[in-house]
Amino acid sequence: MSEKPVAVVFGGGGGIGSVICEKLAGAGMQVVVGYNRSAQAAEKLAASLAGGGHSARFAPVRDSAALSGLASSVEHDYRRCDAIVNCAGMTRFVKHSDLDSLDDELIDNILATNVRGAFATVRAFRPMLERSTLPGGGVVVNLSSAAGNIAIGSNVMYCASKAALDSMTKSLARALAPRIRVVSVSPALVDTEFVKSLDKVWHDEQAARTPMGRLATPDEVGTAVRAVIDTLTFTTGCIIQVDGGRTLSY
């Protein structure tokens, strides 16, 4: 068995996921960068992380059979998994009053990725997480959103998916204790490169609506995830907000 703890980050190649991978590698963990389509970016990221033993692996959260195969490969190569981070997600901007544009296909895609996918990763990796020797046990971190609380976000179903994810966090924390902790990290809008590329007036309006006067950075989200795993060892079943007080504005 590897002496260093192992974390699998689903959606690890994205703007937030990549920073989470860097934070966990910096904390001395071996990181499996899970990807769906961005194989080249994930492999480049894994090669650049501090320390050794990192890898990039195909991790489509909507394919339960593939997740079982991934868990088997991690078991074979590392002999352990101490933490998983559910950072994979999808959405599309649809005005909340435009019910017709939020069609069944989009609804199903959002729920299958953001909710069912997060559940499926836990189901696949539960046996290894239960054997973790980390203080506080194995850890599941679900990347949620303030949208799940304030019901303001890219579309109605995205907001609903994050509310469901937070509820699932609480249910799983109760069901899997004491061997596995489950926590949601819930940022408001995060200032990724994609967000910075959007309309500046809209961007600045979002920052102005936040009591701290700016958006969260990916680094701040990554720091919160790392803290849940290696510092907050008696924390489970809760939603940790990284939102600059945004939810206080509604």
Which residue is listed with tokens 């910075």?
A: 196
Please list the alpha-helical segments (H only) found in the chain. 17-26, 39-48, 64-78, 104-111, 117-130, 147-150, 156-176, 193-196, 200-208, 218-230
Instruction: Mark whether 158 is an active-site residue.
Output: yes
Which of 175, 174, 194, 147 is CA-nearest to residue 238? 174
Q: Which is the catalytic residue, given 35, 78, 158, 250?
A: 158
- Residue 94 corresponds to which amino acid? V
Task: Give the gyration radius of the chain's Cα atoms.
Answer: 17
The first and second tokens of residue 238, run together, are 């809760």
Pick from 187, 180, 195: nearest CA to 165? 187
Distance CA 227, CA 216 (A): 16
Q: Which residues of 92-117 are buried (b: 16+ CB within 10 A; e: fewer)?
A: eebeeeeeeebeeebbebbbebbbbb
Active-site residues, by number, are 158
